[in-house]
Amino acid sequence: MSLDHNVGKGHVIAMLIYKIFRDAEWRELRDKGVTQGAPVDLADGFIHFSTGAQIAETCARHFSGEDGLQILMLDSDDLGEQLRWETSRGGDKFPHLYSPLWLSDVIWHKDLILGRDGHEFPEGVT
């Protein structure tokens, strides 16, 4: 993560962000090297991401009980000016990408396991 000495002046510190894809959506990105996102992303005109503090609630709201999910980790700095932090759920700022997502921007992806008590996030994510 990089430091931004302009924090508080409209700048956001670069951080790791996360995207949840269904297996078919992940396979499309993996096979083609680029995606416009999931159906909800296409409908909204940007690709939705969450921070580590937001991802569990995002998952519970939009993927509750779903198996066959992948979680992707990206560095917000790598996405450039097309990544915008916009107010959304509960007044929180969420990262939204207004460009295609390239496989080369993904640091890692992992299975998002559905356990008895909900999804089990990889260590260090939430």
Quick: pLDDT tens for 43-98. 999 999 999 999 999 999 999 999 999 999 999 999 999 999 999 878 899 999 99
Mean pLDDT of all residues in 88-110:
95
Residue 28 has a pLDDT of 97
Token code pair at residue 119: 């999804």
Give the start-to-end residue ranges of the domains of the chain: 16-120
Residue 12 has a pLDDT of 54
- Percent over 90 (pLDDT), the chain: 83
CATH fold, domain 16-120, is ADP-ribosylation fold (3.20.170)
Mean pLDDT of all residues in 10-36:
89
